[in-house]
Chains A and B, each alone.
Chain A
């Protein structure tokens, strides 16, 4: 019975896809290039989802091209803050002491150990790994005072939804007396919140966007560290798709070849399309000559297979499951999705 909602959704999605692209090989048929796939077939092929098990599986993982590095950045109190019209604004308050304490703790032995162990209990495998040569903090962490107790952390959905922060932050809070307010959104919005003076630190995973953030002067080097971008955790994005794997992605040497094959044969692919870190990574994996960027114009010609969902990771996974599509996802969200039986 739990499936009836997702089945309704699938029907609606199917309609969208089919009206938009009658030649889409939405069904994982043996001959994916055949454009005459009858419209009714994809719906029939979706039926196995009713059995209650997730059909989408991890096809490609631990590829160096898919490494996903998580970085902490403290917001510079001297940032060149501007209002919506681009006029400079002075005196924007940033809780630098609170942000510093939290970053110090994340990079301390305790913080790192907890982060690296997260997920072993529930999934039998760590969801995040410690980066070799990650910055280390060995000093004393400053406890909260009345002025510094409230820390505004702007982060990405993958960090929050995986439960990592829920497991880590209470330990930090009870030990040092801080209260961390977590806002989670795609990396794009998470960084924007800091630029609008609404965050004390950010915890994100999109290198290019982080570098722009640093270049624009919104970050600064904390005492005891030598760089603005404090990358300390990583995991791998995984390329998922239907078990049948019509594109044969599983046996390919590199994820770049996999993406090329998906594009050439027009297998349906779900893109987050929301400026998130996952979206940014996905954009970097397509063959350059396709010219796919975050701009809607750039994929206007590919709407028969490239589906820009503009939704969170979980919602996109449900969509991929129902449409038998390929999708790039962070491993943590996928494992949660799988554990929940696609619900």
Chain B
């Protein structure tokens, strides 16, 4: 394992052009997909957690089930839809970063929805009662609710980001792991593994964890500042 550490370190300080490209593609893909998933999932999750309507539990169960979607299945689905012969083939999105982001959004949005719903549901009653007692209008009630949710939103974001940066099935299927274009850290690790270059695979894995650590530190700091 020491060899892998040394290899990882050498790769970083040598500023290997291919590694830098892989890191940029990885960051672009995962940050975009997790942010979009957050923008879609947070309002939906809060809405599911605060409103009552018939059949609401169907949506909750659905979101929770989709959390278990295997990445490779999401990837296959997108591959079929965006293939040259698929219904969206004309868009020519296969083997681009865009389609990788779309596949990841499909994969991680249910995670955001279900997680937010779980947090909001037990506190929503209380918040509405407080707001009612204070005589707050709809808008200010929502602001109160949103303030309560800042902390879990950051945690949920990290959850979504982690799933995005760690998965290999979807991005390898729709991205094709094309060098200089759609090759991300996880697909690069797979390629090296298939070649039998295990040490290099582990080295990239370490760099991936380091990248994840940086994002986690940044987001956690923002979380502490904004929800204090």
Which A residues have a C-beta under 8 Å from some C-beta of B? 1-2, 4-6, 81-84, 89, 91-94, 152, 157, 161, 181-184, 195-198, 311-315, 317-318, 333, 336-337, 340, 342-343
Residues of B within 8 A of A197 (CB): 83-85, 89
Contact of A183 among B84, B89, B95, B198 (CB under 8 A): B95
Does the CB pair A333–B195 fall under 8 Å? yes
Cβ of B227 under 8 Å from chain A? no
Indicate with 1 or 0, residue by residue over B180-202, a CB within 8 angstroms of chain A CB atoms. 01000000000101111111001
A198 to B92, CA, bound (A): 9
Does the CB pair A182–B179 fall under 8 Å? yes
A4 to B195, CA, bound (A): 18
Cβ of B86 under 8 Å from chain A? yes
Cβ of B13 under 8 Å from chain A? no
A161 to B192, CA, bound (A): 9
Cβ of B207 under 8 Å from chain A? no
A85 to B125, CA, bound (A): 48
Known: A84-B80, A161-B194. 13 other contacts (CB 8 A): A2-B199, A91-B90, A93-B90, A152-B95, A161-B195, A198-B83, A312-B196, A314-B197, A337-B196, A340-B196, A340-B197, A343-B198, A343-B199
Question: How many residue-residue contacts, CB under 8 A, span A and B?
Answer: 99
Does the CB pair A181–B198 fall under 8 Å? no
Does the CB pair A198–B198 fall under 8 Å? no
Smallest Cβ-Cβ distance to A5: which chain B residue: B198
Cβ of B37 under 8 Å from chain A? no
CB distance from B95 to the nearest CB of A (A): 6
Contact of A198 among B2, B3, B94, B193 (CB under 8 A): B94
Does the CB pair B197–A93 fall under 8 Å? no
Residues of A within 8 A of B83 (CB): 196-198
Cβ of B169 under 8 Å from chain A? no
Residues of B within 8 A of A1 (CB): 1-3
Contact of B84 among A81, A84, A315 (CB under 8 A): A81
Q: Could you name 6 residue pairs across A and B whose Cβ atoms are closer than 8 Å? A: A1-B2, A81-B85, A91-B90, A181-B95, A196-B83, A313-B195
Smallest Cβ-Cβ distance to A321: which chain B residue: B196
Does the CB pair B176–A181 fall under 8 Å? yes
A164 to B199, CA, bound (A): 22
CB-CB under 8 A for A312 and B193, given A89-B85, A183-B95: yes
Interface residues in B, total, Cβ within 8 A: 30
CB-CB under 8 A for A312 and B194, given A5-B202, A343-B199: yes
Cβ of B178 under 8 Å from chain A? yes
A342 to B196, CA, bound (A): 7
Contact of B196 among A2, A81, A83, A318 (CB under 8 A): A318
Contact of B1 among A4, A92, A93 (CB under 8 A): A4
Cβ of B177 under 8 Å from chain A? yes
Does the CB pair B197–A343 fall under 8 Å? yes
Residues of B within 8 A of A343 (CB): 3, 196-199
A93 to B85, CA, bound (A): 9
Cβ of B127 under 8 Å from chain A? no
A183 to B193, CA, bound (A): 16
Smallest Cβ-Cβ distance to B83: which chain A residue: A196
Smallest Cβ-Cβ distance to B199: which chain A residue: A343
Cβ of B144 under 8 Å from chain A? no
CB distance from A311 to the nearest CB of B (A): 7
Does the CB pair B196–A315 fall under 8 Å? yes
Residues of A within 8 A of B95 (CB): 152, 181, 183, 198
A184 to B198, CA, bound (A): 19
CB distance from A56 to the nearest CB of B (A): 11
CB distance from A182 to the nearest CB of B (A): 6
CB distance from B88 to the nearest CB of A (A): 11
Does the CB pair A317–B196 fall under 8 Å? yes
A336 to B198, CA, bound (A): 13
Residues of A within 8 A of B89 (CB): 89, 92-93, 197
CB distance from A213 to the nearest CB of B (A): 15
Does the CB pair B196–A198 fall under 8 Å? no
Does the CB pair B196–A182 fall under 8 Å? no
4 closest cross-chain pairs (CB), A and B:
A197-B84, A314-B196, A312-B194, A2-B3
A118 to B3, CA, bound (A): 29
Residues of B within 8 A of A81 (CB): 84-85
A84 to B79, CA, bound (A): 11
Cβ of B4 under 8 Å from chain A? yes
Smallest Cβ-Cβ distance to A317: which chain B residue: B196
A322 to B79, CA, bound (A): 36
A321 to B176, CA, bound (A): 29
Residues of B within 8 A of A311 (CB): 194
Residues of A within 8 A of B177 (CB): 183-184
